[in-house]
Amino acid sequence: MSDQAQSAILLISCPDQKGLISSTTRFIWDRGGNIVNLEQHVDVQEDVFLMRLEWDVKGFNMGWSEFEKQFGGMAERFGMRWELRFSYPKPKLGIFVSKYSHCLFDILSRHQSGELPVDIPMVISNHPDLADVVSKFGIPYHHIPVNKSIKPESEAKQLQLLQEAEVDFLVLARYMQILSPGFTEQYQNRIINIHHSFLPAFPGAKPYHSAHSRGVKIIGATSHYVTADLDAGPIIEQDIVRVSHSDSVKDFVRKGRDLEKIVLARAIWYHVQNKILVYKNKTVIFK
C-alpha cells in the first residue's frame, strides 16, 4: 500500500509472450521510476498476460504525454491494451439510489469518516424518499423520476448532471432501474452495481424470494460492472452468509442487507485503488 505517495499505475493486458516483465520494468526504471508494486498473472486458458505496475512519480523524469508516445510504441509491438492511471486526485463518485437506504448510508458514512477517498458531487434517485438522508450529509440530491415513457429524457438529464460535475464513476446502490445500453457504454467499466444474489444464481428480480423457495443453505451478494446484459457484467466481488430453514424471506432480506453493503464497499475500494483490470468479461483484482 502506498496511499500517501503519489504514484502512477499501468494496467496492461496482451497475448502472453517472452520478455514482457523485463521490458516493462526496464522502461520505467530507465526513466527514473521506482517501482513500488508489481503484480502480474498469466491466464493460461486464454493465453493472456495481465499486469499492474505502480511506481513513484517522484523522480520520474518524463512528462505524461511523452510517456504515452514512447510507451505506446513499445505497447504496440507487444499488442498491449494498456491504461495509465494515477493515485491522485480523488475520483468523483456519483451515486444512484431508489428507496433502500442501507447501501447509501454505508457509503456516505465511509465517506464522512474519511475511510473512502472520493468526492461525491451528487446522489441521483428516481424517488424523493432518501432526500432527507442525503441532505444530512450536505450532498446535493437530484430527484429524476423514471418510467418507461420518459426514460430517454430521464437518462439525458442524468448524463448532463454527471458530465457537468465531471463524475468519474457511478455506483448503483440498490438502484431499481435498468440503464439503457446508450447510457452504460458511456461509463464502460465505470458503473458498479450490487446484486443481491450469488450470481449467476438468481439474476433479475426478487432473488431472495427465489433463493428461499429453492431452499438454499447459503445466500450471497455480487458486485459487478454494469454492461448492456442485465446482471451479466464482470464480477468484482462476492460474499455469502449462511441461512437455515428457520430464516424467512424477511430474514434473508435482513441478513442480505449486511452482505450487500460490504460487498459493494469492497468493489468501490478496489475501483478507487485502481486494482481492477477487466478482460473477457472477467476481472483481475490485484492485491
Q: According to CB under 8 A, which residues from 138 to 197 bind its own copies?
A: none
Q: Of 6, 42, 69, 79, which one interacts with its own copies (CB under 8 A)? A: 42
Q: Is there a contact between 60 and 27 (Cβ–Cβ < 8 Å)?
A: no
Task: Give yes or no for residue 205 binding its own copies (CB under 8 A).
Answer: no
The enclosing H or E element of 184 equals helix 181-184
SS3 102: helix
- If the CB atoms of residues 45 and 147 are measured against its own copies, the closer one turns out to be 45
User: Taking CB under 8 A as the rule, which mask of x and - marks residues 92-131 in contact with its own copies?
Assistant: ---------xx--xx--xx-xx-x----------------
Interface with its own copies, residue 242, by CB under 8 A: yes
Stretch that binds its own copies, among 38-46, 148-156, 175-183, 184-192 (CB under 8 A): 38-46
The answer to whether 220 and 203 have CB atoms below 8 angstroms apart is: no
The reply to whether 18 sits near its own copies by the rule CB under 8 A is: yes
Considering the rule CB under 8 A, would residue 28 count as an interface residue with its own copies? Answer: yes
Contact 94, 49 (CB under 8 A): no
Residue choice 8, 123, 173, 262 for contact with its own copies (CB under 8 A): 262
Give min distance, CB of 149 to its own copies, in A: 31
User: Cα–Cα distance between 127 and 121 in angstroms, integer?
Assistant: 18
- Which of these is catalytic: 56, 106, 231, 247? 231
Closer CB to its own copies, residue 155 or residue 237?
Answer: 237
- Footprint (CB under 8 A) of its own copies, residues 44-73: 44-45, 50
Instruction: Count CB-CB contacts under 10 A for residue 89.
Output: 9
DSSP assignment of 190-241, as one string? -EEEEESS-TTSS-SS-HHHHHHHHT-SEEEEEEEE--SSTT-S-EEEEEEE
By CB under 8 A, tell whether 89 contacts its own copies.
no
User: Please, what is the minimum distance in Å from the beta carbon of residue 18 to its own copies?
Assistant: 5
Amino acid at site 193: N
Among 134, 146, 167, 235, binds its own copies (CB under 8 A): 235
Tell me, by CB under 8 A, how many residues bind its own copies. 75
| Choices 85-93, 140-148, 164-172, 246-254 (CB under 8 A): range interacting with its own copies | 246-254
Q: What is the DSSP string of 9-70?
A: EEEEEEE--TTHHHHHHHHHHHTT-EEEEEEEEEETTTTEEEEEEEEESTT--S-HHHHHHH
Give 186 or 210: the residue with its C-beta nearer to its own copies.
210
Is residue 231 annotated as a catalytic residue, yes or no? Answer: yes
Q: Does 273 bind its own copies (CB under 8 A)?
A: no
Measured CA to CA, the distance from residue 210 to residue 104 in angstroms comes to 25
- Assess contact for 127 and 96: CB atoms under 8 A: no
| CA terminus-to-terminus distance, the chain | 9
Residues known to be catalytic: 231
